[in-house]
Amino acid sequence: MELRIDPDSAVPIYLQVVHSIKHQVATGKLKPGEQLPTVRELATNLRINPNTVARAYDLLDGDSVITTQQGRGTYVREKPDSVHLSRVRQEELKALMDGAVGKALSLGYSLDEVRETFDSQITRWARIKKA
């Protein structure tokens, strides 16, 4: 399992882990029943605190994305239904937007500037998709 963490992101690291795992489940990169790394293994691989991974796993378990079997490990739950997949995709999009807006605000752009730029980019992409 490959996860990328951006320590400079406005999105907290535990949420980056959550969003990354949800994305991999929603896109089929992580299959139902597939075992995830232990908290300690993932923390070591990502060079983050094990408590951060534990927090992410707790949220994922609460969202019925993963399940932990005492003494056996942590696994991806059976494939979520289409409603759940849609929610995962929506959450991922919100995380992307939060990151972009947060970064823009931290660079001194106003909300109006961000909104205008997003609107113009959406219009631009709509034209490109039609072509």
**Tens digit of pLDDT for each residue in 50-92?**
999 999 999 999 888 999 998 999 999 886 556 666 777 788 7
Residue predicted with more confidence, 30 or 84:
30
pLDDT of 82 reads: 60
Contact 74, 66 (CB under 8 A): yes
Q: What is the pLDDT of residue 44?
A: 97
- Looking at the DSSP assignment, which residues form a beta bridge with residue 71? none
* The predicted structure's pLDDT at residue 83: 66
Q: Which pLDDT does position 22 carry in this prediction?
A: 87
23 — pLDDT class (breaks 50, 70, 90): confident
Q: Distance from CA of residue 104 to its chain's centroid?
A: 20
Judge if pTM exceeds 0.75. no
> Which class is domain 13-130?
mainly alpha
Give the number of C-alpha atoms closer than 13 A to the C-alpha of residue 94, restricted to the C-beta side: 10
Domain boundaries, the chain: 13-130
At 13 the pLDDT is 97
What percent of the chain has pLDDT above 70? Answer: 95
